[in-house]
Chains A and B, each alone.
Chain A
Amino acid sequence: MAVSDQDMATGIWNAAEGDEADARPHLGPRQRWARRKAILQQAAVLLLVAAVAVFVIRNTVVNLQARGLASGFDFLRQEAGFKMAFSLIAIDPTSTYGRIFLAGLLNSLLVAALAIVAATMLGFAVGLARVSPSAPVRYVARGYVELVRNLPLLLHLLLWQAVVLRSLPVVREAIGLGGFAFLSNRGLYLPAPVAGDAKAMVVAVAVATGIAAIVAGWSIRSRAQARGEAPPRLGLVLAAGGLVSNAAAIALLDWQVPVLAGFDFRGGLKLMPEFVSLVAALTIYNSAFVAEIVRAGVQSVARGQREAALALGLPPKLILRLVIVPQAMRVIIPPLANQYTHLIKASALATVVGFPDLVNVFLGTSLNQTGRAVEIAVITACVYLALSTSVALATSAYGRRVKLVER
């Protein structure tokens, strides 16, 4: 928009559709002046920025030399010599900094992904409760939102860490959750499939095709809905088939249930308390914001649409599901994505409780050990910028699709 303004102002369009001989856009003295001025102004600003950059770089070089710090990215292939308390890929003292980086990144992503799913579900529930016809439900939901979102996230985290988890029983008296999972002050113990199982490949393929079937079924349905047609049976069958195949595949695995042996549980997956409190705090804190986004979205379409739907004779219960929520999604998605970006960034709070996320093991421990401040800062910045950019790109792609459907 601004670009085309500029083009208009300086008259540098070369469109050749002019119907007459005099339709020859050219530059008058005014346009030449405006152009020269624009170039000069931009050059001045760029020069200023370049001067600052040179100043900073020179200082950095001198400072690094003075401190005897090496530079370069070769450290990524060096042995790090430390262990991580939790990682999705195997880490031992011989692992390189590159592998530490990867493990930290995976941990960050795991925390963020779990918290995003949980916060979305909790947030939608609370958000819909905020517009419930029952006044007490509305008040409780509002109370939850106001209580949660006006406390700093870090306080949520410390509360979980110090108060909730510390008050859990010791391992010997762990709370059993259906006999499969256990909760104690040492963390959460979950059943896990036995690693190296021969069936693992088969199961992985089954799960992948199952997910693909669900996605395909869902997209067939939503496309049909966007065109205003009745959703074809095929979509439903595909989605249901995918669900069943996933469930079957998961049931096929050999699940190892954690068993109390001596001072700790054996087998299964042990999630450290820091992980549990981090995910819990991120989930609760963000759910309040998701709830407000959902409420605003529902209210933005609820007014006129509800009357129209009632006039069509739709039962009120179906209205929310069939009419309001699908339309509200259009309003909900962009701020929701924004909230996800916040959540991803906030997962870096892991450092405070000592969960080994990217910032903790890379920007923290690795930087302290190698002294490659600039390199590590640049890599970390790139990772987070890539994450927030991809969320933004996905949102804008969604926005374009929605606009297309509207037309």
Chain B
Amino acid sequence: MATTSVSGNSRAPATAAGRLLATAVANPFGTLVVLGLAYLAWTLGLPIVDWAFVNATWVASDRAGCNPDGACWAFIVNRLPQFAFGFYPEAERWRAWIVLLAPPLLLLLAMAPDFPGRRRILVVGFCLYPIAAFVMLAGGVLGLAPVPSEKWGGLLLTMVVGLGAFVFSFPIAILLAIGRASKLPAIRLLATGFIEFWRGMPLIAILFMSVIMLPLFLPPGVEFPRLTLAMIGITLYSAAFLAEVARGGLQSVSRGQSEAANALGFGFWAMQGYIVMPQALRAVLPGIVNSAISLLKDTTYVMVVGLFDLLNIVNAALSDPAWLGLATEGYVFVGLVFWSLCFGLSQVSARMERDAERNQSRTPSGERKAP
């Protein structure tokens, strides 16, 4: 790949066209690539636009009602409620709406300008969300009609599994990270073994095992629904990865911090909770968001244990006789949803990283004020 050198030693010609020409001459292969891609965009791009928009059908009652030359988006439109909520009973959908809309609202709050107590609302909100969401969806208390977890599905299930596993894995991850940094060899060994076990296993295998093995581990007579079993597996898997992220953060906190806390009379847990962990987690915030992105994408694996998350419910709908042969439309729709969620989150993480870099470069020179 001699063509992609990191060079830039050209005297810049005055006009834009001249610059373009100079670049083209200096880098003939790059120019070829660009021309080739332009050709591809022309020959492939236009048909795609035709398919997706010009010839697309948005309203129809079955496949036959769609223009065969274009995308049959009517399939998605008709099935949208199911893709969002699975088989959640229609009369109780308002509960699902609340569960689905709470995370974006919390995210908006996170982006909003600071006001007193905002951080507390955010932290409490995210920590309580999975439990509140479970109670809200499962019902059976507070006068809510019970809805078995087999009926949850679609984007709702993706959210519950992803956010739930993420939030539940957080405290476990912190304990594991502290354990792995412990001075006591037995504790260090246990934490390391646990982390490496869950990190080394494929998530697919973990899901199989949680559905098959966990019921064996439980006392006879105790039974968990499939969703809970899968959640336990995903949570532990995610905890192992988060623990490694948190460990990186712990290493970035200087020894002086814990010494200062000790000298002020803090106990071990108070020191971790108020001084070490807040700094450690802040230092690796982008890494935490990246783990969340991975986890969100990994929730699709629940397909293998027969849960109907967004991807699986679309996958299942593809075999509906009234809408046969619409795999492309279905997967493009799922792709759009996941892509926007993951890309959005990755932009958040990238912004955090840039902010952190800027802060770091400012600190040493610092705006020093005269006393």
Contact = CB atoms under 8 A, between A and B. Distances in A.
Interface residues of B, number: 65
B166 to A, nearest CB: 16
Contacts of B304: 351-352
A369 interface: no
Nearest to A301: B6
Contact of A389 (B184, B200, B208, B215): B200
Nearest to A147: B339
B37 A3 contact: no
B347 to A, nearest CB: 10
Interface in A142-176: 146-147, 149-155, 158-159, 162-163, 166
A228 B238 CA distance: 44
A317 B338 contact: no
Nearest to B191: A45
Interface stretch (B102-110, B271-279, B328-336): B328-336
B4 A320 contact: yes
B2 A320 contact: yes
Contact of A63 (B200, B209, B216, B327): B216
A166 B181 CA distance: 51
Say what secondary structure dominates the interface of chain A: helix
B31 interface: yes
B311 A64 contact: no
Interface string B195-223: 01101111111001100110111111000
Q: How large is the interface on A (under 10, 10 to 19, 20 to 34, 35 or more residues)?
A: 35 or more
Interface stretch (B67-75, B114-122, B128-136, B295-303): B295-303
Contacts of B31: 134
B124 interface: no
A320 B34 CA distance: 21
A364 interface: yes
Given A5-B183, A45-B190, A60-B216, A298 B34 contact: no
Q: Which 9 A-B pairs have the closest CB atoms?
A: A316-B7, A134-B30, A42-B186, A348-B202, A345-B202, A150-B342, A388-B200, A152-B297, A162-B327
29 contacts: A2-B183, A3-B185, A45-B184, A59-B218, A59-B219, A63-B218, A133-B4, A133-B30, A136-B37, A137-B4, A137-B30, A137-B33, A137-B34, A140-B33, A146-B343, A146-B346, A151-B338, A154-B301, A162-B328, A166-B327, A302-B6, A316-B9, A321-B2, A345-B200, A345-B203, A349-B204, A381-B209, A384-B202, A389-B196
Interface of B: 1-9, 23, 26-27, 30-31, 33-34, 37, 181-188, 190, 196-197, 199-205, 208-209, 212-213, 215-220, 293, 297-298, 300-301, 303-304, 311, 315, 318, 327-328, 331, 334-335, 338-339, 342-343, 346
